[in-house]
Amino acid sequence: MAELAPIEKALEALLADVSPLDTEDVALDDAAERVLAAAVTAALDVPARDNSAMDGYALRAADAGGWLPVSQRIAAGHPAAPLAPGTCARIFTGGELPEGADCVVMQEEVELDGERANIPAGIAVGNSVRRRARDVARGDVLLEAGTRLNAAALGHLAGQGIARVSVRRRPRVALLSTGDEVIEPGQPIAPGQLYNSNRPMLKRLLESFGAEVVHTESVPDSFGETCACLTRAAQGADVVITTGGVSVGEEDHVKKALEALGQLDLWRLAIRPGKPLALGRLPRGEGGAARFVGLPGNPVSGFVGAWLFLRPLMGGLLGCPALASIPHLPAVARFSTTTGPRQHYMRVRLSFTPSGIEAHAFEDQDSSVLSSCVAADALAVVEAHRTVTPGDSLTCLWLAP
């Protein structure tokens, strides 16, 4: 195993010279899960003025503890007149606090008699008041560059009246499947054939990592056809990904084609699953190079490889720190295993208990058992030449979207 590269070396080769892609402006309605290209500075205070946190009555705290005339009614979105001393104002949630008022008492605590309100004593200054700029002050950095725009971030931008944002262009990915035995779902299957589970799985993972799959193709088991498919795929893609064909069999042509057409940076890793993985570059017609990632054909190896390598690559191309690494969780093993010379990434379910996080491994960890990925919460990292027993501490890579 001395010739197998550690994962750290693979990531170094994969991410060498990676820089964020160019930018584009998009409508806020189309910006979900996109990555901000530049920081956004707040132009408005939020809230814009002191306002009421609930339906009730606005007054001076010093006037509390007796009957007060109700001098005005203030609904959200309507201006308020200054509050005359010794009076209160009927106010609704979000209504602007009138000049002169310094607190709000909820309506359930007030007794009414016509146009008078009996206010309880002991109301504190600032009670039930949302202060101006409590959420955001004008001039603050609203969102940093590299932020992925989730639902809350979109609302944050909309609260500033922003209708368009500058985001990173999605990485364009070509996804190729190799193997004459691999056919697409929906076709009749013959003995010796299998359905292509990698393509829909990896397409969805890539989209969740912020990429756009612009080209898919099935590659015949032929060196010449493999070269032609790789050349074609590289022309319109930032990244070319293959599944299968990177091992040492007579029908594994991807590695040889990559070496013939472009550049092989690294091949074969000291990890399980996913030893036969190739990294390199393919030339593009307009100049430059498309990055190449050759994943193993076994579906679990492809799944694990996508999280370990495709996610950080997309994070680098998008300038998104949240995508560039997988969240690490400390956990306690609730299983036993012994590893050999390769670092093992085991599919586990997590239990969140009062005493901490527990990791429960799927019994069958073979690289062909895709069911172990369906319900997996995380990948437990078990170093090479390690024996794990129940109660041992582990690091888990949380498979969070």
Kindly tell me if the per-residue pLDDT of 247 is higher than 80. Answer: no
Q: How far is CA 208 from CA 73, 172, 205, 311, 357, in A?
A: 49, 13, 5, 9, 25
In this prediction, residue 2 carries a pLDDT of 47
pLDDT digit string (tens) for 266-281?
Answer: 989 999 999 889 999 9
In this prediction, residue 285 carries a pLDDT of 75
CATH 3.40.50.720 matches 34-45+134-168: no
Query: Looking at residues 375-388, what average pLDDT do you find?
Result: 97
In this prediction, residue 62 carries a pLDDT of 97
CATH code of the domain made up of 328-398: 2.40.340.10
Kindly tell me if the per-residue pLDDT of 248 is higher than 80. Answer: no
Domain 7-21+170-324 and domain 328-398 have a common topology: no
Q: Are 63 and 102 in contact (CB under 8 A)?
A: no
| Alpha-helix runs per DSSP H in 284-370 | 299-305, 311-318, 321-324
In this prediction, residue 287 carries a pLDDT of 75
In this prediction, residue 3 carries a pLDDT of 81
Q: Are 104 and 56 in contact (CB under 8 A)?
A: yes
Residues 7, 4: Cα–Cα separation, whole Å: 9
In this prediction, residue 53 carries a pLDDT of 98
Map out the domains of the chain as residue ranges: 7-21+170-324, 34-45+134-168, 51-130, 328-398
Multiple choice CATH, 7-21+170-324, 1.10.230.10, 3.40.980.10, 3.30.70.120, 3.30.565.10: 3.40.980.10
Residues 86, 22: Cα–Cα separation, whole Å: 61
pTM: 0.91
Query: Looking at residues 191-211, what average pLDDT do you find?
Result: 96
**What average pLDDT does the chain have?**
95
Work out the percent of the chain whose per-residue pLDDT is above 70: 98
CA 316 to chain centre: 13
For residue 334, what is the DSSP state?
A: -
Among 61-65, 66-70, 244-248, 316-320, the least confident range: 244-248
Query: Looking at residues 74-92, what average pLDDT do you find?
Result: 97
In this prediction, residue 251 carries a pLDDT of 61
Residues 304, 296: Cα–Cα separation, whole Å: 10
pLDDT digit string (tens) for 91-141?
Answer: 999 999 999 999 999 999 999 999 999 999 999 999 999 999 999 999 999
Contacts of 192 (CB under 8 A, 6+ apart): 181
- Binned at pLDDT 50, 70 and 90, residue 250 comes out as low
Fold assignment, 51-130: Molybdopterin biosynthesis moeA protein; domain 3 (2.170.190)
pLDDT digit string (tens) for 28-69?
Answer: 999 999 999 999 999 999 999 999 999 999 999 999 999 999
By three-state DSSP, how is residue 148 classified?
Answer: strand
- Binned at pLDDT 50, 70 and 90, residue 289 comes out as very high
Kindly tell me if the per-residue pLDDT of 80 is higher than 70. Answer: yes
